[in-house]
Structure 1
């Protein structure tokens, strides 16, 4: 039986600080007395935690929200201070790397992207680190709590190791390499898990949620009681979910989901059909929008295959809500009805109207990568800020 490392149990002080922060994030500005009601903590304990969190810059008093005629400090509402700290996020995709900076509410302050570098993992991460350092210098007034690194492939978050066959990376100490190159704390996570976390923190996530992602790769994440389920080896894989069809997968089989619906598969099929001259999914979308029925049929077939997969997974896992993300689903949006029709005809469970599309939009990858650090900050606010103070000045 494999042993999986567990995060150390937080101290009572740390747990109380996280509880106070969670109540304010969830409910908005609250008086000290109201925080006590939401957390079950005594007023002296609440006051100590509020003072500590205000001292480090996570909370602030909202004097403009004091009820008229209120007397005494416990009635002054305490809100999240989103002007001091920010989290950086780096999403490494097969073809594109996106990086950004988000405030404590998950609002993306800035982002940029570059083609994912080729060559060795060490050289690629060093190049990305240089771009990120230059990017963060544009925000000298923000205190960066660390870097959330998100990627496809097989991720070992506890050890910071990344295996990514599509990039040729094997057992790469990605978190340590990026930490050494930037000086910031780095948290590595699978990109689909990071996107699901973003939904739980800032989107339409619900306590029991299936997050389904499709672009160049496909993946799912499952949340139970408001927290992501993490089994052996990190997240599960749906790359080889059999959905039918004759597309051959690198595994040797035909009809595997990822091989059938990936951007490159659709683009290469469009080249063979004479729709476009080179395998670029953007050209296929443009041809469909221009009225080419062959391009439209290729995109419709992909949406239908995705819908069948969503229906099968919904029936197997039976979540309260299904959230869809990734440009294969959201861009172009006019293919979404094809996906939803296929889903509705596949699912056998009642209440099929539990599916929604992510509200995080085209900045999904950058926002999701940032939330890896924000999630850790909200769970262990005082510890992570201690680590952030050790980062070098930019």
Structure 2
């Protein structure tokens, strides 16, 4: 069975049902008049939207939470139904992949990570789908409605990707998962998906421009402009092959920035200085009592900070969000990173800088943003189409 795989839109929706559900997620339990005040929608529009969301099993009424003296149905608070629909979120990494089950309240209910099983797309889809079914077994009483995939790839068509690191060319990855799991899957490049995660769970509204920078075993950036993730036709911005600049302890073999500051590059640099570690967390633990290990991590933070400053000078965002374990797992090195961002002088002042709200779970949140994208854009229409599809 082939299931239609719609493209992820990755933007805040103006649909009334989307605005109402968003207000409930951020403020619930909340009454209909309070939703109207928050969204600017009329009470009648909110009433129609909440009725449709309730009929779709997305929200529930909470009469036990009514304030003393309040009367009438509009005053009954509503929140997202904890027994409502769920979605499958998949992040495919070069070395590590993770599958999560999430709900329409943007809660991750279960997750499991495994080493990425080889490079063959069929094998990866088989093994990650098996993980998904094991996780879904604990939520079998809830309807499964959608799936999403985030990975370091370039879209070549609806649900199809080129993945240079995995050696994939025009692979129908959404179809592979949809056929195995039985619901539509959307797919998006993972840095753009991380930017969408900031829209989904970071703030209720979004104005201006936000630059999202990701660093771990991949480097990337994306722009969010007035509530929409910018998706260049040619694919995400390519940072991996930028020059690293002058480094003292890191190992610059001339292959570009990612080779120098990625996790593998740090382990290689440590080995060159007689530090035998197998991972960056091991190097960070060693750095607490080893000055050379400490200096290696400080130098990576400095190089990444200069990168953030350079991209900021070109894109001139209002704010910058740092994503990925290179930033989130090592808060001790944020100070040298921030200092390095300021080496690039910006007229008009530097943008606000913060670490992603998703922290070390950014891969899961990115995949969740893709899995919930079509539903978040118009929940009543999307879920109605799923019911019709299941019935047929």
Instruction: Please tell me the TM-score bracket, short chain as reference.
Output: 0.7 to 0.9
* CA contact 2:196–2:366 (8 Å) conserved in 1: yes
Contact 2:244–2:252 at 8 Å: present in 1 too? no
Equivalent position SS for 1:111: strand
Question: Which consecutive residues of structure 2, in runs of 5 or more, have no partner in the other structure?
Answer: 1-5
Q: Which residue of 1 aligns with 2:71?
A: 71
Change (3 A) 1:297 1:36: closer
- Describe the superposition over 1:24-80 as per-residue Cα deviations: whole angstroms up to 9, x where unpaired: 335544433444455555544433322111011112223234332223222323333
Matched, 1:220 2:221: yes
Alignment of 1:94-173 (within 5 A): 94-156=94-156, 159-173=158-172
Taking structure 2 as the reference length, the TM-score comes to 0.87
> 1:275 — aligned with what?
275
Matched residue SS, 2:242 = coil
Whether 1:319 and 2:320 are equivalent positions in the alignment is: no
Task: Report the CA distance between 1:81 and its aligned residue.
Answer: 2.5
Deviations, residues 352-376 of structure 1 (Å, cap 9, x unaligned): 3611111212222112211212232
1:235 equivalenced with 2:236 (yes/no) = yes
State the alpha-carbon separation in 2 of the partners of residues 135 and 6 from structure 1. 25
Query: In 1, Cα distance between the equivalents of 2:187 and 2:262?
Result: 24
1: CA distance, partners of 2:195 / 2:32: 31
Q: How does 1:156-305 map to 2 (within 5 A)?
A: 156=156, 159-203=158-202, 206-207=206-207, 208-245=209-246, 254=254, 256-276=256-276, 279-289=278-288, 291-305=289-303
* Structure 1 residues 35 and 280, CA gap change in structure 2 (3 angstroms): closer
Deviates more, 1:182-191 or 1:28-37: 28-37
Partners of 2:347 and 2:85 in 1: CA distance? 44
Partner of 1:11: none
Check whether the contact 2:8–2:186 (CA below 8 A) recurs between aligned residues: no
Asked if the contact 1:213/1:326 (under 8 Å) is kept, the reply is: yes
Q: Tell me, yes or no, if the aligned pair for 1:268 and 1:279 is still in contact at 8 Å.
A: no
Greater Cα offset, 116-125 or 77-86: 77-86
Q: Distance in 2 between matches of 1:216 and 1:55?
A: 44
Q: How many Å separate the matches in 2 of 1:239 and 1:280?
A: 20
Shift, 1:350, TM fit? 4.3
Q: CA deviation at 1:135?
A: 1.9
Q: CA deviation at 1:106?
A: 2.2
For the 8 Å contact 1:271–1:279, the answer to whether it is kept is no
Matched residue SS, 2:69: coil
Q: Kindly state the Cα deviation for residue 301 of structure 1 after the two structures are TM-superposed.
A: 1.0
- Name the Cα RMSD after superposition: 2.8
Distance change (3 Å), C-alpha of 1:40 and 1:271: closer
- 1:344 — aligned with what? 342
Comparing 310-319 with 214-223, greater Cα deviation is found at 310-319
Q: Note the C-alpha offset of 1:193.
A: 1.3
C-alpha distance in structure 2 between counterparts of 1:362 and 1:243, whole Å: 25
- Whole-angstrom distance in 1 between the partners of 2:41 and 2:29: 17
User: Does the CA contact (< 8 Å) of 2:93 and 2:116 recur in 1?
Assistant: yes
SS for the counterpart of 1:315 is helix
Secondary structure, counterpart of 2:18 in structure 1: helix
Give the gaps of 5 or more residues in structure 1.
Answer: 9-13
- Does residue 376 of structure 2 align to residue 378 of structure 1? yes
